[in-house]
Structure 1
Amino acid sequence: MKKVALITGASSGIGRELANIHAEHGGDLVLVARREEKLHEIKRHLEAEHSIRVSVIPKDLTRTGAAQELYDFINNAGIEVEYLINNAGFGGRGKFTERSWEQDLAMIQLNIISLTALSRLFLPDLIQRKSGKILNVSSIASLTPGPLQAVYFATKAFVTSFSNALAEELHDSGVTVTVTTLLPGSTETEFARTSGMDRTSQFDRAASARSVAQDGYHAMLAGKLNTLSGVPLSQRVMIAAIPFVPRKLFLRQVRKMQEIQN
């Protein structure tokens, strides 16, 4: 097989665009998501357009043990993963005490536990082969607490911190394995609609999923530590100002950005 990219959350949005881009580079794919029919539709399209092989694994990564099942399946199939792209994730807005605990628990399981487990399972194989790359999709939400999205922002803070720590552990280790973190801003995906964020001011000028995926894919190939994508100048200025703005004032501004527009 050609260089294989395993992409979670591959049925739509950034994940689907990452699959398109990797296929355009001539690489084989393992696509993981819950929606089997959607995955097979993507498989048919990519295999018809490019001389590649696409494997489809329907899997709900919010389930405990799903990451281990996925790793075992890939191992038993004899597939050697070169690029691990942890893209699957979801969010949701609302006050923490008023949101469904089951939904927030599933968010933690997917955004943190499954991503961490897949990294732990696949990374030793990459290190042993002295070849491979990991791309973890985080968010600019990881850079600050997020009132009205308390759990989502916190899960993404974990992703960025964890990924950066792994990257440093691999630095000067004698292997060429790298870990890159993609921090998208507002992006046109199903995530925005399902989380309700498409009705907030943040999504007035959302970036395309394709442009964000391109930034992340190229950063991964280059072995970069972090890359921001789809982040307008106003938000970059806001991020740069975080250390200098009183915390309560800053949190109030972040909360205002999460509120539904009338």
Structure 2
Amino acid sequence: MSNQKYTLITGATSGIGLELTKLFAQDKYNLVLVARGQDELEKMATDLKSQYGVEVTTIAKDLFKRESPFEVYQEVKDKGIAINVLVNDAGQGQYGAFTETDVNRELDIIQLNVGAYVVLTKCFLKEMVARNEGKILNVSSIGGEMPGPLQSVYHATKAFVTSFSEAVNNEIKDTQVSITLLEPGVTNTDFFHKASQEEAKGVKEGSKADPAEVAKDGFEGLMAGKDKVISGFKNKAMVAASQVVPDSMVAENMHKMMEPTNKNEE
């Protein structure tokens, strides 16, 4: 009899999402992988089936589009798959002063980082609560705990994810369903390339976490039913400090960290 546990992961083809995919496959969860690139998804599916012997379903969707998360849910329903674990991981940012950045890209980012999380969480959480079984991992960021000059919209979306997850988790506290919030710091993924943020001081000169380690922290916290996992000691200390220092000072420190390294050379 084949294993019937299923995990759905968005942003599954790179970074933390990719590492989480491997961990669930190792734990013998069948997978529903969501990302934009069909070819990339198909290659991953072939590799995962071969290496771990799990079932892999792929759904190529652009979650920048408002209708896409609804379509993902409907495709899963049509296939008769019950999702035991939902991982909302797909997310992007945009680097630069708010007065100069592209508002249409920012609206796309809000849809991806907020809209898709809300839709997928609502759709699958209803089923989980009805069964009284299930887990959700919402990937946020330590940026959700503090203001982020030069990445203002990204930080704001992650503040939403953090607040939203904590609130809904309280609503379901009397069930056997749990929501775990994963908050990484600067991690060695292609996020910064996509955000045009590679020249920011904190990215170029600072240390970056290994996405495999971040994924492991999130996976273990999820399985233990933890409410929140801040990955990495340095990030825990940074969040703790931000909660006692005035927000204006936190914003100023973040601004200095995120200034371009070549600013003084121009």
Q: Which residue of 2 aligns with 1:177?
A: 177
Q: Is the 8 A contact 2:184 2:214 kept in 1?
A: yes
Q: Which residue of 2 aligns with 1:212?
A: 214
Q: TM-score, normalised by structure 2?
A: 0.93
Distance 2:148 2:140 in 1: 14
Q: Which residue of 2 aligns with 1:55?
A: 57
Structure 1 residue 41 displacement after superposition: 1.1
Q: Which residue of 2 aligns with 1:193?
A: 193
Q: Is the 8 A contact 2:12 2:21 kept in 1?
A: yes
Poorly superposed stretches of 4+, deviation over 4 Å: none
Residues 140-182 of structure 1 show CA distances to partners (whole Å, capped at 9, x for unaligned) of 00001111111000000000000011111111x2x21000000
Q: Is the 8 A contact 1:30 1:57 kept in 2?
A: yes
> Match of 1:96, SS?
coil
> Match of 1:198, SS?
coil
Q: Which residue of 2 aligns with 1:136?
A: 138
Distance 1:82 1:162 in 2: 20
Could you tell me which runs of 5 or more consecutive residues in structure 2 were left unpaired when the two chains were aligned: none
Structure 1 residue 198 displacement after superposition: 3.3
Distance 1:186 1:231 in 2: 12
> Match of 1:31, SS?
strand
Distance 2:244 2:259 in 1: 24
Q: Is the 8 A contact 2:147 2:247 kept in 1?
A: no
Counterparts in 2 of 1:130 and 1:11: CA distance versus 1, 3 Å: same
- Partner amino acid for 2:141? S
Equivalent pairs, count: 258
1:82 matched to 2:84? The reply is yes
Q: Which residue of 2 aligns with 1:240?
A: 240
Q: How large is the Cα RMSD of the aligned pairs?
A: 1.3
Q: Which residue of 2 aligns with 1:101?
A: 103
Q: Which residue of 2 aligns with 1:18?
A: 20
> Match of 2:58, SS?
strand
Could you tell me which runs of 5 or more consecutive residues in structure 1 were left unpaired when the two chains were aligned: none
Distance 1:135 1:205 in 2: 25
- Partner amino acid for 1:201? K
Counterparts in 2 of 1:16 and 1:237: CA distance versus 1, 3 Å: closer
Distance 2:132 2:71 in 1: 24
Identity of aligned residues (%): 40
Distance 2:55 2:215 in 1: 20
1:259 matched to 2:252? The reply is no
Structure 1 residue 200 displacement after superposition: 2.6
> Match of 2:214, SS?
helix
